[in-house]
Amino acid sequence: HGVPVSGAEIMAHYDKEGRLASIDANYISGLEDIDVNPRFEAKDALAVVKADVLSRSVIEESLLQPDEGKLVVYARPGIPGRLAYEYRVRALEAEHPAIWVVTIDAQTGDVLHRLNNLQTVQASGKGVLGDTKTFEVSNGGPGFVMSDTSTGVQIQTFTAQQRQVAPGNLVASASATTWDTGAAGAGAAVDAHFNAAQVAKYYKTVHNRNAIDGAGGALESTVHFGKAFDNAAWIQTGMIYGDGGTLFRALSVGVDVVGHEFTHGVIEKTSNLIYENQSGALNEAVAD
């Protein structure tokens, strides 16, 4: 009756000539007689959803970010279909960030289903100094990749593999507890990924700034830049870190170094102090 069925789908596949080749279906029967007229309004359903989210999240209600919601038929194989309201509520500033998808029975107001759709995994690894750090990664192929969306800002860590390229390749691992174990600068990716998240959190909690651009833009770090590169830099699109040579060890080990390069990005996105003469000196001083 014009209401989408959540959890069911039919997909038709066509060849390059436009002919129907196959159909895949997750079909749920027995929905013909469902009453598609809810017994209460969407705003009342949203109130129930917010209350449910608040009962599971340490966060103020004003910081919740719900979508517009939609009316669906909630159905699963072997479970009778029911008319429901479905809301997606972002609670990214909670003590434990989450994106809750909550489904409310549109006839009774009962919670039918809830899902935290924040798609990250907690991982751990050894940094440059051999210390173990925990951080968020994502599923990627047969293993994991250094991509953290747990705070609503995409934090990604790449490797240049001793080349002078950026961003390079996203750091990956077959194990959530073994990362960046190469001979040169081992653990640099762990430090860069962990420290970038720490600096982003500092900017958010202390200065109420959402990432480098202030609008939640992606945050990219590249480690193992060049061969024996004794420096780190902001390059307009992200941060690069060398493995060190005669003067330093891998530079991403220092959270102050990461904070410095991050702040060069903030300066560029705000005052854009030209990097020479007095404005260049101010640029460096603010980053310090």
**pLDDT, tens digit (0-9, with 9 covering 90-100), for 34-71:** 999 999 999 999 999 999 999 988 889 998 989 999 99
Residue 13 is encoded by which pair of tokens? 């596949």
**According to the model, what pLDDT value does residue 93 have?**
72
8 Å CB contact between 166 and 158: yes
pLDDT exceeds cutoff 80 at 97: no
Residues 6+ apart with CB under 8 A from 235: 166
8 Å CB contact between 106 and 129: no
8 Å CB contact between 35 and 106: no
**According to the model, what pLDDT value does residue 141 have?**
67
User: Could you read off the pLDDT of 217-265 as tens digits, one per residue?
Assistant: 999 999 999 999 999 999 999 999 999 988 999 999 999 999 999 999 9
Lowest-confidence segment of 93-97, 150-154, 239-243, 262-266 by average pLDDT: 93-97
Instruction: Considering only residues 51 and 30, tell me which one the structure prediction assigns the higher pLDDT.
Output: 51
8 Å CB contact between 56 and 64: no
255 φ, ψ (degrees, to nearest 5): -65, -30
Compute the distance between CA of residue 154 and CA of residue 51 in angstroms, rounded to an integer.
28
Compute the distance between CA of residue 233 and CA of residue 221 in angstroms, rounded to an integer.
10
pLDDT exceeds cutoff 90 at 95: no
Lowest-confidence segment of 24-38, 198-212, 268-282 by average pLDDT: 24-38
8 Å CB contact between 120 and 112: no
Residues β-bridged to residue 70: 86
Compute the distance between CA of residue 84 and CA of residue 82 in angstroms, rounded to an integer.
6
Average pLDDT over the chain, rounded to an integer = 92
8 Å CB contact between 144 and 121: yes
Q: Nearest CA to 128 among 235, 258, 284?
A: 258
Q: Nearest CA to 77 among 26, 16, 10?
A: 26
Compute the distance between CA of residue 204 and CA of residue 27 in angstroms, rounded to an integer.
45
**According to the model, what pLDDT value does residue 192 have?**
98
